[in-house]
Structure 1
């Protein structure tokens, strides 16, 4: 860097907010990831993230900046529409088309529409790149505090109604037999999930959202069948991947989001290899 070497204090001040975000914020994503894995809708987060991004693209095309509050409101509106869509797609009446196929269609159409919309903006290519990899290294303290408060509120909702949300994911038929309003609760699940995805996309991009949701949850489930233990292990993997990726991003001068994704991929490979070694018998 032109012979200039920043002090540890300066490096710490620069990375303090991103590191705090990498430690605190992924917890809720890991929890949702365990639900997503069990429901068998692995790519719903990508689809919702892309639908939220499409809302931002519409706002940018209307002349606003991607960082304006208008962009967030547009993203939120599109996310609510996506939540409604996935609520009714959850169980197609005919049952002939797999849900993942429908989710994939929503994702690819939303992604293609975003490309078309941003092709008419002066900085379309930069905006598209940001939606993919985000800008985690430059996250500010106000953003960290806002997201922490929002995620804390969403986490509280899940804690207060944990039996209903967990029941819908892990014991769906029993909940349905008990006469619960399944579609209404599904909508709240997807809407709250959409809030998490929408806000994190603005921070870390689509790829990082998917990685934080799925990779730590997979690592946890490789080692334990307990929801609580899988959550704690997954959060630990998410923290390791976030801190390691941010450190590598700073040292190598590469995009932070992509570095975190790659670090999480390495940790998944290690977890998978270790899990295979601890299962010597076919019964395990």
Structure 2
């Protein structure tokens, strides 16, 4: 009973993380800008690194949000104005990660902080942290379901990338950059390659099952939670995609 009381916020947060990230993940894959989320997450983490290294953790959310929104606006502009936009976004990611390493080089706990920024431990999330994230994710999902589909042009691009920036700002602080990337892409990829169900609904189910298994395994085997989430969700997604492709190829040969 005590274990349930201790761990339930982590499992609920895990489901919320899957819920909000797959909304963006399906759209990102369809757009063909896979590294968008990773670049925004990495640039957002610069704000966290600056806060921890120089301000004793003060203004962490404000700095993270400022860098995330800046990256989102740059990418929104680039998608309409830059050729080979994936290369541009890849360079933005490289700039972000190198900036973090330079900032953390000034911190005595640089590598430990970098590991936390990459994949944090959500296993012992408090209920207060859960409620704070829920208060961010739910309004964002409402915007994406009801406002985003009704807009066009640059307004639509800005809504998408700024909502993604707000999501990443919260998620990077809670889970880490690489966990955010895995949750954005892996469940959505599985949802898109199958044709039987709505991609978003399938991604929600697939991602929720994957992350619950990852948390359970992390707790029972005493493994790093963030990297367990990345490993399980990515592995399950890859296996599912390979299975669907092999099955599709066999069906075509038999016809």
- TM superposition score category, shorter chain reference: over 0.9
Deviation at 1:278, TM superposition (A): 3.9
Q: Which residue of 1 aligns with 2:183?
A: 212
Contact 1:57 1:114 in 2 (8 A): yes
Aligned match for 2:27, one of 23, 35, 47 = 35
Contact 1:25 1:148 in 2 (8 A): no
Aligned match for 1:61, one of 36, 53, 65 = 53
Q: Deviations over 1:145-182 (max 9, x none)?
A: 111121110111122224236xxxxxxxxxxxxxx4x2
* TM-score relative to the length of structure 1: 0.84
The answer to whether residue 210 in structure 2 is matched with residue 224 in structure 1 is no
Aligned match for 2:241, one of 272, 276, 279 = 272
Q: Which residue of 2 aligns with 1:196?
A: 167
Relative to 1, partners in 2 of residues 1:164 and 1:63: Cα closer, same or farther, differing over 3 Å?
Answer: same
Distance 1:224 1:80 in 2: 34
Deviation at 1:64, TM superposition (A): 2.3
Relative to 1, partners in 2 of residues 1:189 and 1:53: Cα closer, same or farther, differing over 3 Å?
Answer: same
Q: Which residue of 2 aligns with 1:13?
A: 5
Distance 2:105 2:196 in 1: 46
Q: Which residue of 1 aligns with 2:221?
A: 252
Distance 2:164 2:108 in 1: 32
Contact 1:26 1:235 in 2 (8 A): yes
Deviation at 1:282, TM superposition (A): 5.9
Deviation at 1:277, TM superposition (A): 4.9
Structure 2 residue ranges without an equivalent (≥5): none
Contact 1:241 1:261 in 2 (8 A): no
> The residue matched to 2:21 in structure 1 has which SS?
helix
Q: Which residue of 2 aligns with 1:125?
A: 111
Contact 1:53 1:114 in 2 (8 A): yes
Aligned length: 253
User: Which structure 1 residue ranges, 4+ long, deviate > 6 Å from structure 2?
Assistant: none
Deviation at 1:283, TM superposition (A): 11
> The residue matched to 2:252 in structure 1 has which SS?
coil
Distance 2:7 2:200 in 1: 26
Q: Which residue of 2 aligns with 1:80?
A: 69
CA RMSD in angstroms, aligned pairs only: 1.9
Distance 1:53 1:195 in 2: 13
Distance 2:63 2:245 in 1: 45
Relative to 1, partners in 2 of residues 1:269 and 1:85: Cα closer, same or farther, differing over 3 Å?
Answer: closer
Contact 1:64 1:71 in 2 (8 A): no
More helix by share: 2
Structure 1 residue ranges without an equivalent (≥5): 1-8, 166-179
